[in-house]
Chain A
Amino acid sequence: MELFSRKTRGGRRAATVAAVAVSVALLATGCAAGGSTDGGTDSAGGGGDNTMAFLPKQLNNPYTDVVLGGGEDGAKEAGFTSQVLGPLEASASAQIPFIEQATQEGSKVIVIAANDPDAVGPSLQTAREAGAKIVAFDSDTNPDYRDIFISQVVAKDVALIQLEIISEQIGGAGDIAILSATATATNQNEWIKFMEEELASNPDYKDIKLVAKVYGDDDADKSFQETQGLLSSYPDLKGIISPTTVGIAAAAKYLSTSDYKGKVALTGLGLPNEMREFVKDGTVKEFALWDPAQLGYVAAFAGKALVDGTITGAEGDTFDAGDLGEITVGEGGVAIVGPPTRFNADNIDDYDF
């Protein structure tokens, strides 16, 4: 093997050049591949006339895809061409270049799920000055920067439906625990707060005791271990509520493969495609979520109504939302799409997201 170390200078240089070439080639393909989604322009929009730009929190998120699918359908029905722009990672500043791009291309409507309510403010302001209408959906911006916010459901309804389901399944009495996402997630904490208030105030739930709140950080592995921890720390645990799609799926997978299957109830917010297996094998009887496609659909029609000038986003305005009928704008320029849906063995096959 002396050969290897005593290679001629030229030979070694050739090897180095080859290695560098391979890495450059790899980088190039990696970047090119990333680029196609990174600067994602899903449909040939670009024209200024009747374009609607959708800016989700991040691309390549299964939930977001369903929302955007509904949005594209809605935009089409409302007579707009749509394009999807967005970052691969959900970070506060990542959306700004895409807002600027949409503004330069002269989009009539920018539909945005904000990663940070304030960080996107100045660029949205610029977009408005250029004549675009701003519809926030899924996650609100600071109200100063948008015309209307389309909210999927009332936060309190989401919290209450999960309590209702767990109470039905454990017979209205016993210890329960919550498996949440991160300890800092705003929506999670809001739902948990509503659940705690309801448990304390509603006499129907007086025999239900919330014994623990744990955080799986929306990571399959951590959520798995947190579920194990709950079950081994609380022998009397009757049920688990997991108001996050990652958490409920991980908990369901664990329960379905453990001795606790069928003994401990599980519900929360889940995606039908991810939960189908566990509903069919009896690990989970029923869980809740909204239909995310409706969110995008309504946002598209709200954009059309703003462009047409039929609404301004003020309280009491009403607009037509295609198949979903008429939607009324509530306090603070917030329009609610509808109540949460329950998914169980009877209806889960009707949904594909």
Chain B
Amino acid sequence: MSIDTARPPVHTDHGGPLHAVRGFFRSREIPVAGALIALVIITTVINPRFLSPQSVKDLMLNATIVIILAVGQALVIITENVDLSIGSILGLVAFGTGTLFNAWPGVPIPLVFLGGMLFGAVLGAINGFLVTAAKVPALVITLGTMYIFRGILTSWAGSKQYFSGDNPKAFGNLSVDVFLGIPIITIVAIVVVIAVGIFMHSVRAGRDLYAIGSDRDAARLFGIAVGPRVLAAFVASGALTGLAGVLYTSRYNSVGALTGSGLELDVVAAVVVGGVAISGGTGTVFGAAIGAVLLSTITSSLTATRVDKFWQQAFVGMLILAAIIVDRAVSVRNARKLRVSESRDV
């Protein structure tokens, strides 16, 4: 039996190069990428320094952490769940990283990354376990763990902060040094996007996540291990958030009790803008990553063109609404097309 039958009822055009081209233009990522390119062009026309080498490097660095978070969040949202606790998880891991460097200054950096991802994965597993076992909507569970994790961090950290000066120079340099013009931590993010993207596109377990998000009951009847798959999505999201937490410590000057608070909504916004439907089952991690780049670039471009700060939030809001409207239009059209093609097959 092929898993293909469990694929969500989205544009899977078969045959003919024309169809492929049409499918390409109909994909969710194209309008988002188009908006991103238009944004960069317009900003550069107004302020040519927007594409100076330093500024391009900044744009990449600004997007890096959100990209990784968006990939993790996309995995969860595709299964028709959501993880609101990622800001708190990032805070815990970031503060844990600072603590680790303070307690053991010579700790090998790869071990720090491994530890951070493991810590994040454990916290993600708590979310995943509660969501799958209690059968309560993830929105409520992760809202709860968001506060719990933050509470634990607040009592752990108190007013203690770790500054970038406390960390080894080599660790801080990860977010400064470039390879072929691309910052090292951005390369990490790109590798994450590609690896998860291939997994979601071509590996059975990845396809299962789409099936679960499209129709959980049908997926279960079909024999997909719904609970373990959803748990795995939360663990993966937690591990990626852990990775982002370690990178956050490398990039920013201080980590403390408030690190990462409020980040979860920015990330959900990036994912939704990138074409991952909040109702699950559609979208790609590539789209989510482009959404993350778009949102972080908007901030930079509005500051570079000296547009009032207020407009930035309004812009993000409009983009979210636009993404949802596009989403709705596409699904209505697909439903109609499916009806037509099915009646033809009869």
Contact = CB atoms under 8 A, between A and B. Distances in A.
Chain B associates with chain A: yes
Contact of A19 (B58, B130, B157, B305): B130
A296 to B, nearest CB: 14
B334 to A, nearest CB: 28
B199 interface: no
Contacts of A184: none
Given A23-B130, A34-B154, A229 B303 contact: yes
The listed residue with most B CB atoms (<10 A of its CB), out of A37, A62, A221, A222, is A221
Given A33-B151, A36-B155, A27 B161 contact: no
Contacts of B16: none
B164 interface: yes
Given A62-B159, A233-B304, A260-B54, A1 B154 contact: no
Contact-residue size bin, chain A (C-beta under 8 Å from the other chain): 35 or more
Interface string B149-168: 00110111111110111000
Interface in A209-259: 212, 214-215, 220-222, 224-226, 228-233, 235, 249-250, 252-253, 257-259
Contact of A62 (B58, B141, B161, B303): B161
B288 to A, nearest CB: 19
B30 interface: no
A29 B152 contact: yes
Contact of B252 (A2, A62, A64, A220): A220
Interface residues of B, number: 56
A61 interface: yes
Interface in B36-67: 47, 49-50, 52-55, 58, 62
B73 interface: no
A34 B155 contact: yes
A276 interface: yes
B341 to A, nearest CB: 31
The listed residue with most B CB atoms (<10 A of its CB), out of A64, A212, A220, is A220
A226 B252 contact: no
A16 interface: yes
B49 A235 contact: yes
A229 B304 contact: yes
Contacts of B299: 222, 225
Secondary structure of the B contact surface, majority rule: helix
A19 B299 CA distance: 40
Nearest to A29: B152
Contacts of B226: 1, 4-5
A37 B148 contact: no
Nearest to B259: A220
Contact of A257 (B155, B175, B224): B175
A277 B164 contact: yes
B135 interface: yes
Contacts of B164: 253, 277
B307 to A, nearest CB: 10
A78 B305 CA distance: 56
Contacts of A214: 303, 309
Given A1-B224, A30-B147, A231-B54, 5 more contacts: A1-B223, A19-B133, A229-B304, A257-B175, A274-B161
Interface of B: 47, 49-50, 52-55, 58, 62, 126, 129-130, 133-135, 141, 144-145, 147-148, 151-152, 154-161, 163-165, 172, 175-176, 220, 223-228, 252-254, 256-257, 299-300, 302-306, 309
